[in-house]
Amino acid sequence: MIITFSGLCGVGKTDVIRSVSKLMPARSLSLGDAIRSEIQSRGWEASPAVERQVQIELREKYGQAAAAIALKPSIIDALGSCDLLLIDSVCSPLELDQISGLGGRSYAFSIHTHRHLRLERLANRNGRSMSAEDVMLRDNLELSELGKGITLGRADYQFTNNSDLPSIVRAVSEQIAALKLV
C-alpha cells in the first residue's frame, strides 16, 4: 500500500511520516529528495531560493511529474520490500497520478495547519529555517504554478495539525490501520 502526503511547507508532513514509521512497519521516501539531490549534484548550497529555482527548472525540463519520475526506481524498489510505503511531499497532480499508477492500493493524505503555526515552525526549523517571505514565495509557487491546491483537493483523507505531534500521528496511524483492514 502506498500513502502519499501533501501539504504546504511547515504543516508537519515529514515529522508525521517519521513518527508513523516508528509505530508500524513502513518505509518512507520524499519527493523533495529529488530536488535536494539535484541541488547537491550542481554543487550549490541549498536555500529556499535555490530550492525554488531547481524545482521550477526540473519541471520545465521534465514536466510536472519530474520529482516522482526521478524517484520511480526507488519507489518500485521499496514496494518490493515492504507492505507500506509513505511518500512525503507530493506536490503536483501529475506526481500523484505517476505514483498511483505504480500499482497496488494507493491513498492520498493531506495535512493542513494554521498559517501562524506554519510560520512559527518554519522560522524555528533546524537546518532549513524559512522567513515569512520565503514561505509566501514557496506557497505561491506550489499553489499557483505546481498545482498543489489540486493535489490537496484530491486527497482521500485530510488531517489538521494545529495541536501536538502525538495527536496527528495517532489520527494518521489509526486511518492507516483502518485502510489495512479493507
Whichever domain contains 152, its CATH number is 3.40.50.300
Number of domain units in the chain: 1
Alpha-carbon span 106 to 100, nearest angstrom: 6
The edge-to-edge listing of strands for the beta sheet with 2-6 is 27-30, 85-88, 2-6, 106-112, 157-160
The pLDDT tens digits of the residues spanning 115-159 come to 999 999 999 988 889 999 999 999 999 999 889 999 999 999 999
| H-type alpha helices, the chain | 13-23, 32-41, 48-62, 66-79, 93-100, 115-123, 132-140, 148-153, 165-181
* Mean pLDDT confidence for 74-97: 94
pLDDT at 145: 87
Contact of 7 with 114, CB cutoff 8 Å? no
Write down the pLDDT at residue 104.
80
- pLDDT for the residue 34: 87
End-to-end CA distance of the chain: 11
Determine the pLDDT at residue 14: 94
The pLDDT value recorded for residue 65 is 93
The whole-number pLDDT of residue 115 equals: 96
Closest by CA position to 147, among listed 99, 75, 101, 92:
92
Residue-number span of the structural domain to which 121 is assigned: 2-181
**pLDDT tens digit sequence for 5-55:** 999 999 999 999 999 999 999 999 999 888 989 999 999 998 888 988 998
DSSP state of 12: S
